[in-house]
Amino acid sequence: MTSTHVWPSHQPAHVEPAHVEPTRFEPTHFGDTGPDPYAAAMAHPITTVDSFTTEPFAGNPAGVCLLDHPTTVEWMQSVAAELNLAETAFAVVRDDGAHDLRWFTPTGHEVDLCGHATLATAHVLGGAARFHTRSGLLTCTLGVHGMIEMDFPARPLSKVDDPPDWAPALGVDPSAIVQVLDDGPGWGMVELASADAVRKAEPDFGAIAALRDGILVVAPGDQDGVDSVSRMFAPGVGIPEDPVTGSSFTTIGPWLAQRTGGTMFVGEQASARGGSVGMRIEGDRVVVIGRAVTVIEGTIASDPPRA
């Protein structure tokens, strides 16, 4: 005998969907849900370069943005803040093949001279370049073994006769300070008695910023082939310790020349990343010499507005 079992229907009754208010994650809460407004933007090349080194992830990193027309300060400040490197360089090509060059820190400061970002820009352009800058015309040439030589103005030094007490700010013993020198508004140089004192300095960045925008500490070198050992602290412009400061060697070079009577030098910057910089004195100019390595290449998907 066959039995047939009829299962009851479990189909739910039709229910009208309830109206649900958009949550905070709905696209409508993030503005226009239409086409990406940046999709049609032209791609502008941007490069991260490590300067004063032959190895990636050493030396001093700089952003390099090549432009075909001048743009606004606000746009350049935004790009520099986005990259968050010590400096980002913006180079605008001129009709004669030279470039207008400007440098910005991630905190929005425009600096008068930046050696490592100039080296980085010349490297991106192939090694040889002429730049019109706040510090005048800077000429870069390609030397031997991939070295780039940058012709910079020397920065004169004057001794400070009654300096503030730099020892607590730099975290050094007062007996280690030989002299304090001035090399321009907001900037100075402290000569220490030994390279070891430079390396072991434990700076108080707040105390430094209260005294100067930036301070260079330097001592004679303690190894064969190294004429100076230095560090640069610039908390006043948003850079607690700069890895390798090319422009500082326009001060160190004349200081070494006065001490030794020589004209060719090699300096070590004893930061965590470290780097080596060549110097050649030519009258009132200092040729700063170094190599650079491309680390990142990309594009900015935001059109720079015309200035």
Tell me if 225 is assigned to some domain. Answer: yes
Tell me if 244 is assigned to some domain. Answer: yes
Tell me if 17 is assigned to some domain. Answer: no
Tell me if 31 is assigned to some domain. Answer: no
The C-alpha angle 200, 261, 185, rounded to 5 degrees, equals 60
Question: Do 164 and 275 lie in a common domain?
Answer: yes
The mean per-residue pLDDT over the stretch 153-164 comes to: 92
Q: Are 51 and 290 in contact (CB under 8 A)?
A: yes
| Overall domain count for the chain | 2
Range of the domain at 98: 44-148+293-300
Question: Do 86 and 110 lie in a common domain?
Answer: yes
Tell me if 261 is assigned to some domain. Answer: yes
| CB hemisphere CA count around 73 (13 angstroms) | 6
- pLDDT tier at 6 (50, 70, 90 boundaries)? very low
Question: Do 196 and 254 lie in a common domain?
Answer: yes
pTM: 0.83
What's the rounded Cα separation, in Å, for the pair 177 and 219? 10
What's the rounded Cα separation, in Å, for the pair 2 and 138? 103
pLDDT, the chain, mean: 90
Question: Do 279 and 178 lie in a common domain?
Answer: yes
How far apart, in Å, do the first and last CA atoms of the chain sit?
95
Catalytic residue among 21, 55, 74, 87: 87
Question: Do 140 and 164 lie in a common domain?
Answer: no
The mean per-residue pLDDT over the stretch 247-254 comes to: 96
What's the rounded Cα separation, in Å, for the pair 83 and 295? 13
Q: What is the pLDDT of residues 29-60, one digit of tens each?
A: 455 555 554 444 567 899 999 999 999 999 99
Tell me if 28 is assigned to some domain. Answer: no
Element at 299 (helix H, strand E)? strand 292-300
The helix/strand count (H/E) of the chain reads as 6, 18
CATH, residue 52: 3.10.310.10
- pLDDT tier at 93 (50, 70, 90 boundaries)? very high
Between the alpha carbon of residue 55 and those of residues 125, 127, 143, the distances in Å are: 19, 17, 18
What's the rounded Cα separation, in Å, for the pair 287 and 36? 47
Question: Do 177 and 273 lie in a common domain?
Answer: yes
Closest CA to 53 of 289, 288, 275, 279: 275
Closest CA to 117 of 89, 147, 77: 89
Question: Do 163 and 269 lie in a common domain?
Answer: yes
Question: Do 162 and 279 lie in a common domain?
Answer: yes
Question: Do 120 and 180 lie in a common domain?
Answer: no
Question: Do 173 and 86 lie in a common domain?
Answer: no
- Indicate whether 249 pLDDT > 60: yes
Q: What is the pLDDT of residue 43?
A: 76
Contact residues for 116 (Cβ-Cβ < 8 A; gap 6+) = 51, 52, 59, 60, 62, 86, 87, 243, 244, 245, 246, 290
Phi, psi of 204 (to 5 degrees): -105, 100
Question: Do 167 and 278 lie in a common domain?
Answer: yes
Tell me if 232 is assigned to some domain. Answer: yes
Contact residues for 141 (Cβ-Cβ < 8 A; gap 6+) = 127, 128, 148, 149, 151
- pLDDT tier at 5 (50, 70, 90 boundaries)? very low
Would residue 191 show up in a list of annotated catalytic residues for this protein? no
Tell me if 228 is assigned to some domain. Answer: yes
- pLDDT tier at 185 (50, 70, 90 boundaries)? confident
Higher pLDDT, 95 or 39: 95
Q: What is the pLDDT of residue 183?
A: 82
Q: What is the pLDDT of residues 272-292, one digit of tens each?
A: 999 999 999 999 999 999 999
What's the rounded Cα separation, in Å, for the pair 232 and 248? 8
Q: Quick one: tokens of 143?
A: 């030397």
Q: What is the pLDDT of residue 22?
A: 52
What's the rounded Cα separation, in Å, for the pair 21 and 207? 54
Q: What is the pLDDT of residue 33?
A: 53
Beta bridge partners of 290: 148
Question: Do 129 and 180 lie in a common domain?
Answer: no
The mean per-residue pLDDT over the stretch 160-180 comes to: 96
The mean per-residue pLDDT over the stretch 72-87 comes to: 96
